[in-house]
């Protein structure tokens, strides 16, 4: 579990304040949030076909692009709220620990730098979760299936890390190949939230941003094109 946690870069703290006042988003909590939202995204789009819900609003005249956009925006909004809530709860828990251990809230440490770091950590966590939501949505739309949308995405989320770890261990070529997958870019981004964040160069940031943007755009484009061409009645049958 510890190795998986390090792989996903999902325990972090701000670097400047003392260790007792830290913002931590523990591995199992972020993983649980991501899994829950993958299931929700797969369910939101997959259920439109398995239960036939999607045909009614579309037959009423709502455009497919608007229908897709409204659901994706709602899902990303939920992801943002949950991520922010988890970060706030982690901060409050850290303050509570300070009271119990040293009878101090350490409120003097809540500086602008601390809050800026906390905001950046939360945004990074949201980006990782949001991309998995988009991927789950695209797969569910492409396959017309809740089970496929959830199952395939969870397989990529957990199994992908294992495969990429083995591939990266084969040498330089293997490590370069791993950079073609979204798992690697998301994990690299979240490593910046770790207790000992890496020092990335311009090239590192370039491939991370390129990878994340590519998969974000690809997931949306594939979902939209597939949805526009889909026979909703047949898919819901």
Whether the Cβ atoms of residue 10 and residue 190 lie closer than 8 Å to each other: yes
pLDDT tops 90 at residue 234: no
Q: Token match 């770890």: residue? A: 165
Whether the Cβ atoms of residue 71 and residue 44 lie closer than 8 Å to each other: yes
Q: What is the mean pLDDT of the chain?
A: 79
Q: What is the structure's pLDDT at 53? A: 59
Which of 130, 122, 140 shows the shortest CA–CA distance to 182? 130
Residue 231: both structure tokens together: 């026979």
pLDDT band at 18 (very low <50, low <70, confident <90, very high): very low
Look at 143 and 60; give whichever has higher pLDDT: 143
Of 38-47, 106-115, 208-217, the range with the lowest mean pLDDT is: 106-115
Mean pLDDT of 217-235: 80
- Report d(CA 10, CA 132) in Å as an integer: 15
Whether the Cβ atoms of residue 183 and residue 189 lie closer than 8 Å to each other: no
pLDDT tops 50 at residue 196: yes
CA atoms within 13 A on the CB side of 177: 13
Give the list of residues 6+ apart from residue 202 with CB closer than 8 angstroms, or none. none
pLDDT tens digits along 84-104: 888 888 777 777 766 666 655
Mean pLDDT of 153-180: 89
pLDDT tops 80 at residue 15: no
Q: What is the structure's pLDDT at 3? A: 44
Integer CA distances (angstroms), 186 to 4, 19, 63, 85, 129, in order: 14, 25, 32, 21, 9
Per cent of the chain over pLDDT 70 is 72
Maximal C-alpha separation, the chain: 64
Mean pLDDT of 105-130: 80
Q: Cα(first)–Cα(last) distance of the chain, in Å?
A: 42
pLDDT tops 60 at residue 20: no
pLDDT tens digits along 205-219: 999 999 999 999 999
Q: What is the structure's pLDDT at 230? A: 73
pLDDT tops 50 at residue 136: yes
pLDDT band at 4 (very low <50, low <70, confident <90, very high): very low
Mean pLDDT of 102-127: 76
């Amino acid at each position: 579990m510890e190795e998986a946690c390090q792989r996903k870069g999902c325990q972090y703290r701000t670097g400047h304040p003392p260790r007792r006042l830290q913002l931590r988003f523990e591995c199992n909590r972020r993983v649980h949030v991501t899994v829950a939202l993958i299931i929700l995204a797969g369910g939101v789009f997959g259920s439109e076909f398995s239960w036939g819900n999607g045909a009614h609003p579309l037959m009423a005249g709502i455009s497919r692009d608007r229908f897709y956009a409204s659901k994706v925006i709602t899902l990303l909004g939920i992801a943002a709220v949950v991520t922010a809530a988890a970060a706030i709860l982690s901060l409050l828990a850290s303050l509570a620990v300070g009271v119990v251990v040293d009878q101090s809230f350490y409120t003097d440490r809540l500086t602008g730098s601390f809050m800026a770091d906390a905001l950046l950590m939360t945004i990074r966590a949201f980006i990782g979760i949001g991309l998995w939501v988009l991927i789950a949505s695209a797969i569910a739309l492409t396959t017309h299936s809740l089970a496929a949308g959830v199952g395939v995405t969870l397989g990529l989320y957990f199994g992908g890390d294992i495969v990429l770890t083995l591939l990266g261990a084969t040498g330089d070529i293997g490590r370069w190949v791993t950079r073609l997958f979204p798992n690697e870019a998301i994990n690299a981004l979240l490593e910046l939230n770790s207790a000992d964040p890496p020092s990335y160069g311009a090239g590192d940031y370039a491939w991370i941003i390129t990878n994340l943007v590519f998969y974000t755009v690809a997931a949306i484009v594939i979902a939209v094109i597939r949805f526009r061409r889909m026979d909703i009645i047949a898919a819901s049958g």
